[in-house]
């Protein structure tokens, strides 16, 4: 009796032991998950919370994602198919493809949704989720690593990860926020090391307008980030040689959970998980205030740090796409409540004449002039200098 009982117990333990690997005969599908050896990170299909929308869509989007195993408020650090969501994870599979790459397939129509897309000379590859949060595609029989998720960051830069420039190819890694709180597809902002080879990081809006720079590396810190001299929780290093340049950081205490993110509204933030309060505590952000982010409230929007939400529409305008604003994506901006009289041909008595409204205590980022191409040039020039041409 006793040995049988023991055997049963043993098999139970084996069943419960989580797997950290995907190989060619163990695809991941539906509610299945893999967990890193020390149970720090979990990978599976993830569906973002839908936020407070009144949207009528009832289908959820699923993304292959990695999140912290031990943080109750599910926090992802990486997503794979950010642009191509899956609506039914039971028909999708993350698996080793015939060419050895890790692929996401829609098995209902045999469509390839996502691939690590590297050239591999073997089909005996496996994908292992590591305790540092990286999903590594390696050879089953050797130590060759073909691809690491940590080298292909999405909106999160993890300790141990590089964010740098490959000088041979001229390709730099970029940290790009989610489009909105429910959509991991790439947003409008990006953080990257100067592709021209200087040692400074830029944050840009739509790859064109730079609104923050770290200043060059001076050997100890980035010159415009003096806070780094007090970085007692972190080890950091800037590598710059003929083939590559990158910055890398790690935790002095590996039990501290810390992450570097670029958030939906274009700020970069270093946050630490505080278990006593069960929340992420932000202790560093750039640009320092939300309103310094270029065009964060979109065309005809205004930003006010003392308001909630911090974006609003200027007088006479209303949210262009309310559902985006509900998900904290304000970049779509605002539209006129009432068309300008000079745009409508109306000469009837009920139409009030257009006039200027003077706004005080406002500084312009010029965003309103460059963004909206649907209004007439007349209104563009009218938006500068604090006055605004509008129907009221």
Ligand X SMILES: *[C@@H]1O[C@H](CO)[C@@H](O)[C@H](O)[C@H]1NC(C)=O
In the complex, the residues that contact ligand X under the rule CB under 6 A are: 19, 23-26, 52, 98, 112, 115, 117, 123-124, 130, 132, 134, 140-141, 150, 160-161, 166, 168-169, 194, 196, 239, 241-244, 343-345
Q: Closest approach of Cβ 116 to ligand X, in Å?
A: 9
Least separation in angstroms between residue 360's CB and ligand X is: 30
Closer to ligand X by Cβ: residue 26 or 75: 26
Minimum distance of ligand X from residue 169's CB (angstroms):
4
Q: How far is the CB of 3 from ligand X (least distance, A)?
A: 25
Select 215 or 386, whichever has its Cβ closest to ligand X: 215
Chain centroid, CA 59 distance in Å: 22
Strands 279-286, 301-303: pairing is unpaired
Polymer length in residues for the chain:
392
Shortest distance in whole angstroms from residue 98 CB to ligand X = 5
Sign of the four-CA dihedral 112, 113, 118, 123: negative
Alpha carbons 66 and 43: distance in angstroms, whole number: 4
DSSP assignment of 243-273: SEEEEEEEESSTTS-EEEEE-TTS-EEEEEE
Q: What are phi and psi of 103, to 5 degrees?
A: -130, 155
Q: Which is nearer to ligand X, 12 or 122 (CB)?
A: 122
In the bound complex, what is the minimum distance in angstroms from residue 338's beta carbon to ligand X?
13
Which one-letter DSSP state was computed for residue 386? G
Nearest to 362 by CA among 302, 316, 307, 315: 302
**Cβ closer to ligand X: 343 or 386?**
343
**What is the C-alpha separation between 334 and 40, in angstroms, rounded?**
43
Shortest Cβ 118–ligand X spacing (Å): 8
**Pairing mode, strands 189-193 and 201-205:** antiparallel
Tracing tokens 């007692």 back to the chain, one arrives at: 232
The separation between the first and the last C-alpha atoms of the chain, rounded to the nearest angstrom, is 87
Closer to ligand X at the Cβ: 28 or 334? 28
In the bound state with ligand X, the residue whose beta carbon lies nearer, of 110 and 345, is 345
Question: Encoding tokens for residue 299?
Answer: 């065309």
Chain centre to alpha carbon of residue 259 = 12
Q: Cβ closer to ligand X: 65 or 127?
A: 127
Q: How far apart are CA 29 and CA 62, in angstroms?
A: 11
């Amino acid at each position: 009796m006793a040995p049988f009982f023991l055997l049963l117990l043993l098999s139970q333990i084996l069943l419960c032991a989580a797997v950290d690997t995907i190989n060619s005969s163990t695809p991941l599908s539906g509610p299945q998950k893999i967990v890193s050896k020390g149970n720090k990170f979990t990978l599976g299909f993830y569906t973002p919370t839908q936020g407070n929308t009144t949207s009528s869509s009832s289908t959820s989007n699923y993304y292959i994602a990695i999140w912290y195993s031990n943080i109750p408020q599910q926090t992802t650090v990486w997503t794979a198919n950010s642009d191509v969501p899956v609506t039914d994870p039971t028909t999708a599979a993350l698996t080793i493809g015939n060419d050895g790459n890790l692929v996401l397939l829609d098995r209902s129509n045999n469509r390839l949704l996502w691939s690590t897309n590297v050239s591999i000379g073997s089909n005996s590859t496996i994908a292992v989720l590591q305790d540092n949060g990286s999903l590594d595609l390696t050879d089953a029989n050797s130590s060759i690593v073909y691809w690491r998720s940590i080298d292909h960051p999405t909106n999160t830069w993890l300790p141990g990860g590089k964010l740098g420039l490959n000088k041979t190819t001229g390709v730099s890694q970029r940290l790009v926020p989610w489009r909105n709180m429910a959509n991991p597809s790439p947003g409008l902002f990006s953080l990257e090391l100067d592709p021209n080879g200087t040692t400074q990081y830029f944050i840009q809006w739509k790859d064109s307008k730079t609104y923050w720079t770290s200043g060059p590396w001076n050997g100890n810190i980035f010159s415009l980030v003096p806070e780094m001299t007090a970085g007692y929780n972190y080890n950091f290093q800037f590598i710059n040689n003929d083939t590559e340049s990158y910055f890398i950081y790690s935790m002095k205490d590996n039990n501290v959970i810390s992450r570097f993110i670029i958030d939906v509204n274009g700020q970069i933030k270093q946050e630490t998980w505080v278990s006593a309060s069960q929340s992420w505590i932000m202790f560093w952000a750039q640009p320092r205030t939300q309103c310094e982010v270029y065009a964060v409230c979109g065309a005809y929007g205004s930003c006010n740090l003392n308001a909630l939400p911090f974006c609003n529409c200027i007088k006479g305008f209303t949210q262009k796409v309310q559902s985006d604003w509900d998900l904290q994506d304000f970049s779509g901006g605002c539209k006129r409540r009432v068309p300008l009289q000079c745009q409508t041909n109306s000469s009837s008595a009920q139409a009030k004449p257009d006039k200027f409204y003077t706004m005080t205590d406002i500084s312009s980022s010029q965003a309103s002039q460059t963004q909206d191409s649907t209004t007439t040039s007349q209104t563009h020039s009218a938006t500068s200098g604090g006055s605004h041409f509008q129907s009221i």
